[in-house]
Amino acid sequence: MAAQAARLYASFSPEHLGAPATIFLGFRISSIPPTSQSALTNVSVWLPGEMGFATSGLGLENCRLNLLEARGMFGCPVNALMGRGIATAEIPFGGEIISESARIEVFSAPVREGRLALWVFADAHTPVGAEPIFPAAVVSAPPPYGEAIDAAIPLIPTLPGAPDVAVTRFHMALGTTARGPDHFVYYKSVRGRRVAYAPRGLILPPACPHGGFPFEAQFTFQDDTVATARTTVPCPRQTRRTRR
Amino acid sequence: MVRRVMSIPVARWGLALAAVAVLCTQSDGVLAARTARTERLSMTAHLRYLTAKGAYLLEEGSASGPLAGTVKAHVRITADISGSFEFYPHDGSISGYGSARLHESGTYVSFGGTVMITGGTGRYAHARGSGGLYGVYNRRTLGLTIQTTGSLSY
């Protein structure tokens, strides 16, 4: 059985305590031996305590699954978009391993089983054209974490008899960015006019935890193996100076 | 002789005072039982956002119903909603906590759960009660509207 190893990356922008921030999350999965990658079937990312989606101002509308399936990302209200990113997968093709990247969009979904829910929409074109949609939920995580994003990833078949698509790299911004491909805006009505604005984003706690902001991710693979990865976002420099 | 005559009334007064004391104690109990009240906990509170610490919101507003007054609430909104509150009707305060599950999301997050009254001050020093908790959280303004059902004894 192959062993899977995972690395987790996280950062904030801007790094101002008590203020809204965009969270950048990413992971990289490698296998030993390298050609024996097993498909990722579930990922759960635990966020630092005292950071809440409900106060983020993200996901003010919900995206309906039937519209997302029928019209892709254009089927969702703009105020349902919560983040964007890129996923890279390895696909076995004629004895070779080919990498394919897919654009990722995360939308707010109607509450499922009492939990804030998300749809993760992937838009891939070549060599495998697919638009998989997978459900995710915001769940509670034990201290020192607060909330977790738990996503079930569907198996994407390739050629008959060949292994399924295996996600090996993932990067996303939770919230909007000032510019670039991850930038997006929301709209609100002001005196009858539709006005664009940047959604708030997750609010950083007013104090930095000892040792920084902890993140953890648990990965489950098709071959039933599990990998765990942790990372810490250091406290902003301004805070360290203040505490001395 | 004089000493003996004087001692009898003193003893009687002592007995009489003791009896009055016992009666007073009993009448206090009767008085307490008579003034204990139960109110329906049918209240509606409109809370506005004051400040946030991550997932924790500090909210303040007013409540209407059988008892009316101002409300301060410390609410945590994560995968579910929980929090504590202080309610200030006339002549005291009532404190408690509640928890609820989310029903629907979007701009307006609706939720439902339970509320517990755990104590108070002044006229409501012995407040106890429980009931249902329903509400809507506006994710744009971060304001809360909460309705409660059940009963409150104080």
pLDDT of residue B28: 44
Give me the residue from A54, A57, A205 closest to B77, CB to CB.
A54
More confident residue, A159 or B100: B100
Determine the Cα–Cα distance for residues A79 and A110; give it in Å rounded to an integer. 13
Does residue A6 register a pLDDT over 90?
Answer: yes
Under a CB-based contact definition with an 8 Å cutoff, are residues A235 and A212 in contact? yes
Element spanning B98, H or E: strand B92-104
Residue A196, amino acid:
A
pLDDT of residue B106: 84
List all residues 6 or more positions away from A161 whose beta carbon is below 8 Å from its beta carbon: none
Q: State the pLDDT confidence band at B25, using cuts at 50, 70 and 90.
A: very low
Tokens matching residue A17: 């305590």
Kindly report the nearest CA distance between residue A76 and chain B, in angstroms.
13
Give me the residue from A55, A139, A205 closest to B79, CB to CB.
A139
Q: State the pLDDT confidence band at A31, using cuts at 50, 70 and 90.
A: confident
pLDDT digits (tens, 9 = 90+) for A146-158: 889 999 988 887 7
Counting beta carbons within 10 angstroms of the beta carbon of residue A45, is it exposed (0 to 12), middle (13 to 18) or buried (19 or more)? Answer: buried
| Chain B touched by A61 (CB under 8 Å) | yes
Determine the Cα–Cα distance for residues A52 and A62; give it in Å rounded to an integer. 18
pLDDT digits (tens, 9 = 90+) for A55-84: 888 999 999 999 999 998 899 999 999 999
pLDDT of residue B78: 76
Q: State the pLDDT confidence band at A34, using cuts at 50, 70 and 90.
A: low
Q: State the pLDDT confidence band at A120, using cuts at 50, 70 and 90.
A: very high
Residue A57: name the closest of B60, B99, B106 by CA: B106
SS3 sequence, chain A? CCEEEEEEEEEEECCCCCCEEEEEEEEEEEEECCCCCCCEEEEEEEEECCCCCCCCCCCCCCCCHHHHHHHHHHHCCHHHEEEEEEEEEEEEECCEEEEEEEEEEEEEEEEECCEEEEEEEEEECCCCCECCEEEEEEEECCCCEEEEEEEECCCCCCCCCCCCCEEEEEEEEECCCCCCCCCCCEEEEECCEEEEECCCCEECCCCCCCCCEEEEEEEEECCCCEEEEEEEECCCHHHHHHHC
| Chain B touched by A139 (CB under 8 Å) | yes
% of chain B beyond a pLDDT of 70: 77
Nearest CA in chain A to B107: A60
Which chain A residues are Cβ-neighbours of B55 within 8 angstroms? 50-52, 54-55, 146-147
Which chain A residues are Cβ-neighbours of B105 within 8 angstroms? 59, 62, 108-111, 116-117
More confident residue, B12 or B73: B73
More confident residue, A191 or A131: A191
pLDDT of residue A90: 82
Subunit contact B79:A115, Cβ cutoff 8 A: yes
Determine the Cα–Cα distance for residues B95 and B125; give it in Å rounded to an integer. 10
Subunit contact B106:A59, Cβ cutoff 8 A: yes
Does residue B31 register a pLDDT over 60?
Answer: no
Determine the Cα–Cα distance for residues A135 and A65; give it in Å rounded to an integer. 10
Does residue B148 register a pLDDT over 90?
Answer: yes
pLDDT of residue A121: 94
Determine the Cα–Cα distance for residues A218 and A10; give it in Å rounded to an integer. 14
The SS3 assignment for B128 reads strand
Mean pLDDT of A138-165: 85
Subunit contact A60:B53, Cβ cutoff 8 A: no
Does residue B58 register a pLDDT over 90?
Answer: yes
Does residue B110 register a pLDDT over 80?
Answer: yes
Determine the Cα–Cα distance for residues B71 and B85; give it in Å rounded to an integer. 7
Does residue B71 register a pLDDT over 80?
Answer: yes
Subunit contact A146:B54, Cβ cutoff 8 A: yes
Tokens matching residue B120: 């108070």
% of chain A beyond a pLDDT of 70: 94
pLDDT of residue B105: 81
Subunit contact A140:B80, Cβ cutoff 8 A: yes
Which chain A residues are Cβ-neighbours of B79 within 8 angstroms? 114-116, 137-140, 147
Does residue B121 register a pLDDT over 60?
Answer: yes
List all residues 6 or more positions away from B90 whose beta carbon is below 8 Å from its beta carbon: B69, B123
Residue B48: strand pairing partners = B60
Q: State the pLDDT confidence band at A18, using cuts at 50, 70 and 90.
A: confident
pLDDT of residue B21: 45
Tokens matching residue B134: 């329903």
More confident residue, A116 or A25: A25
Mean pLDDT of A82-103: 85
Under a CB-based contact definition with an 8 Å cutoff, are residues A189 and A195 in contact? yes
Average pLDDT of the residues of chain B: 81
Does residue A239 register a pLDDT over 70?
Answer: no
Which chain B residues are Cβ-neighbours of A114 within 8 angstroms? 79-80, 101-103
Q: Which of B57, B99, B105 to mutate to test the interface with A (most CBs of A within 10 A)?
A: B105
Q: Which 62-81 residues of chain B touch chain A by CB within 8 A?
A: 76-80
pLDDT of residue A162: 74
Q: State the pLDDT confidence band at B34, using cuts at 50, 70 and 90.
A: very low
Average pLDDT of the residues of chain A: 88
Q: Which of A17, A46, A111 to mutate to test the interface with B (most CBs of B within 10 A)?
A: A111
The SS3 assignment for B125 reads coil
pLDDT of residue B130: 95
